[in-house]
């Protein structure tokens, strides 16, 4: 003899789960909250801790949502929930940026995912390059106090856990070439074009 389990209405547990994770984020129980954000350069995964934005990942360039969250679970905490409300500010500033209505991000950043020392110094230097301007790997290395380490500077920028907001797309080769980019060179070109007011319409039209 067996007892059939109770029937659930479709979506019932999903709705309850969403209420639970919203509460967890409000009450500070979730150490890490994330949301996915659609943008003109593809879907982004934004990851937030109590300190600030810790990760902004190009979903497709990083193996998809699961792989991105697995990596964050290993390196920050497995107490990760999807909590869109917790990341409203991030989503709004990204929308404004891609609409051409925002030049600087006013988001607190959590640098935990970039290793302390040279790498983090490079990224923090990079964060000071203003909207619409560009710099070079060499200039970044000099600013970080290691003038000959421009290759390592490139490596540090390539490991940027918070692209777009920490604008590593504004760093080019000294010879004028594009260099590399964590989201692929096509995205680097598009971001630079957006900031230089060129091709904005094309960007929006996509």
Contact 203, 194 (CB under 8 A): yes
Binding flag, residue 28, another protein (CB under 8 A): no
Question: Closest separation between CB of residue 131 and another protein, Å?
Answer: 33
Stretch of 6-14, 101-109, 123-131, 151-159 contacting another protein, by CB under 8 A: 6-14
Task: Count interface residues toward another protein (CB under 8 A).
Answer: 38
Q: State the Cα angle at 79 between 49 and 39, rounded to 5°.
A: 55
Q: What single DSSP character describes residue 43?
A: -
Binding flag, residue 13, another protein (CB under 8 A): yes
Stretch of 7-15, 92-100, 126-134, 178-186 contacting another protein, by CB under 8 A: 7-15
Closer Cβ to another protein, 27 or 175, answer by number: 27
Q: What tokens appear for 93 in the block?
A: 């500033």
Distance CA 200, CA 124 (A): 27
Binding flag, residue 81, another protein (CB under 8 A): yes
28 CB-near residues (< 8 Å, 6+ apart) = 50
Q: Which of 54, 72, 87, 149 binds another protein (CB under 8 A)?
A: 72
Give the residues across from 32 on adjacent strands: 49, 80
Closer Cβ to another protein, 45 or 140, answer by number: 45
Contact 136, 151 (CB under 8 A): no
Binding flag, residue 34, another protein (CB under 8 A): yes
Q: Which of 5, 176, 177, 197 binds another protein (CB under 8 A)?
A: 5
Closer Cβ to another protein, 47 or 126, answer by number: 47
Q: Which residues are catalytic?
A: 168
What is the side-by-side order of every strand in the sheet holding 44-49? Answer: 53-58, 44-49, 32-37, 80-82
Contact 43, 60 (CB under 8 A): yes
Binding flag, residue 15, another protein (CB under 8 A): yes
Distance CA 62, CA 41 (A): 14
**DSSP count for the chain of H helices, then E strands:** 8, 6
Q: Which of 44, 54, 80, 143 binds another protein (CB under 8 A)?
A: 80
Interacting residues with another protein (CB under 8 A): 1-9, 12-17, 19-24, 27, 29-31, 34, 66, 69-70, 72-74, 77-82
């Amino acid at each position: 003899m067996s007892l059939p389990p109770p029937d659930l209405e479709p979506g019932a547990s999903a709705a309850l789960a969403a209420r639970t994770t919203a509460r967890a984020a409000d009450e500070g129980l979730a150490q890490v909250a994330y949301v996915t954000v659609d943008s003109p350069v593809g879907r982004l995964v934004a990851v937030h801790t109590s300190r600030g934005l810790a990760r902004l990942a190009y979903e497709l360039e990083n193996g998809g949502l699961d792989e991105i969250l697995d990596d964050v679970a290993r390196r920050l905490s497995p107490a990760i929930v999807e909590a869109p409300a917790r990341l409203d500010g991030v989503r709004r500033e990204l929308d404004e940026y891609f609409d051409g209505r925002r030049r600087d991000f006013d988001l607190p950043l959590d640098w935990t995912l970039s290793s302390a020392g040279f790498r983090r110094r490079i990224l923090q230097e990079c964060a000071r390059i203003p909207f619409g301007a560009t710099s070079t790997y060499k200039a970044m290395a000099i600013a970080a106090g290691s003038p000959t380490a421009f290759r390592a500077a490139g490596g540090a920028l390539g490991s940027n856990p918070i692209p777009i907001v920490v604008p590593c797309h504004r760093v080019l080769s000294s010879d004028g070439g594009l260099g590399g980019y964590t989201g692929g060179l096509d995205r680097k070109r598009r971001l630079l074009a957006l900031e230089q007011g060129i091709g904005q319409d094309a960007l929006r039209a996509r």
